[in-house]
Structure 1
């Protein structure tokens, strides 16, 4: 994240201007082309000002994510008496947020930033992915308690399958089709096999 400030305290207006500049440039030119110099120019400050507070462009982006300046979705997991409806609603909200007009350049830039910078990846996961994942886990766990799902259901694996499938389709240029939330929720909840459970094969 940011370095411990050296010299005079950070100006809040300058800090916000730098984070906003980083966000706007991510959308316009992407992660690979982004540089401290460009951030400084866009924010109307010197490179030294940026370097006084952050070591790298990754640190700037990471703080922007933490502060909420750089973000593209906030999802609240639906919680009614119907687990199928809640999963479909939540997954659809994720898909919609991730594909909303104007989001694509920032989403692609953040994916590239996460691949190149561990701190950015950690911040993205902690602030964007983890809350949705935890919310889904808790909702599925309540469905087990209420009897909507069978006892012993592996909710962690269900969450990984649900969230992973959505992100795969959003980030994979070869994925086709529209919103798959309803079909995905049905598949995870009800499966595709015609049998009643796993079959043990003996050699």
Structure 2
């Protein structure tokens, strides 16, 4: 339950109608055009009913996602023995997922909600970012080519953060840029070459 939910216990039928209305609007419209007025009209409830339980449209979207009303595909995870190729395939898959119309809408909504609601931020981190971040850290830490003493969590943050930043700032995420990102991250994690050690 997020901190944005306030007031008396909610009516379950109204709650479902609100979350279903949010889902239906986002199927055909952008997050920018989503409004609490529009949600209220579609759900057949008063706007004040929404305000009693949620502080913003972003908070409504968070609950619609985490309660299963807006399905989200599982986050891709890097696999394969070659670390560079595995991460490149993962970056491309992640790019396609969050750069799609639905992905952009949800990324903006969920990031906005996390910025203003501590409980929403914790729930989203536990459900999405935290597991992905830990999987990446483990994948980097287990690779024999990479320095065991490197900060693998910082490297995971660089990979995840770059994609989210570019998506939220509406910048293109080109394959060449992803290759450059991998080059910087992986070369920073590898040990010094024979030439540099002399």
> Which one of 182, 185, 188 corresponds to residue 179 of structure 2?
182
CA RMSD in angstroms comes to 3.4
The answer as to whether partners of 2:61 and 2:109 remain within 8 angstroms in 1 is no
Structure 2 length-normalised TM = 0.73
The answer as to whether partners of 2:104 and 2:168 remain within 8 angstroms in 1 is no
Return 14-23 or 155-164, whichever deviates more: 14-23
The answer as to whether partners of 1:17 and 1:43 remain within 8 angstroms in 2 is yes
The answer as to whether partners of 1:31 and 1:110 remain within 8 angstroms in 2 is no
Q: How many aligned residue pairs are there? A: 187
* Secondary structure of the structure 2 residue equivalent to 1:30: coil
Q: Which residue of the partner structure matches residue 168 of structure 1? A: 165
The answer as to whether partners of 1:88 and 1:185 remain within 8 angstroms in 2 is yes
- What is the alpha-carbon distance in structure 2 between the residues aligned to residue 124 and residue 31 of structure 1? 21
Q: Which residue of the partner structure matches residue 69 of structure 1? A: 69
- Residue 35 of structure 2 corresponds to residue 34 of structure 1: yes
> Which one of 9, 12, 21 corresponds to residue 10 of structure 1?
12
Structure 1 length-normalised TM = 0.71
Q: Deviations over 1:99-156 (max 9, x none)?
A: 124433443333333334444333333323222211111111221xxx2212212111
Q: How does 1:118-197 map to 2 (within 5 A)?
A: 118-143=118-143, 147-173=144-170, 175-176=171-172, 178-179=174-175, 180-191=177-188
The answer as to whether partners of 2:95 and 2:173 remain within 8 angstroms in 1 is no
Q: Which residue of the partner structure matches residue 95 of structure 1? A: 95
- What is the alpha-carbon distance in structure 2 between the residues aligned to residue 196 and residue 23 of structure 1? 53
Q: Which residue of the partner structure matches residue 55 of structure 2? A: 56
Q: Which residue of the partner structure matches residue 84 of structure 2? A: 84
- What is the alpha-carbon distance in structure 1 between the residues aligned to residue 180 and residue 100 of structure 2? 20
Unaligned runs of 5+ residues in structure 1 are none
Unaligned runs of 5+ residues in structure 2 are none
Q: Which residue of the partner structure matches residue 111 of structure 1? A: 111
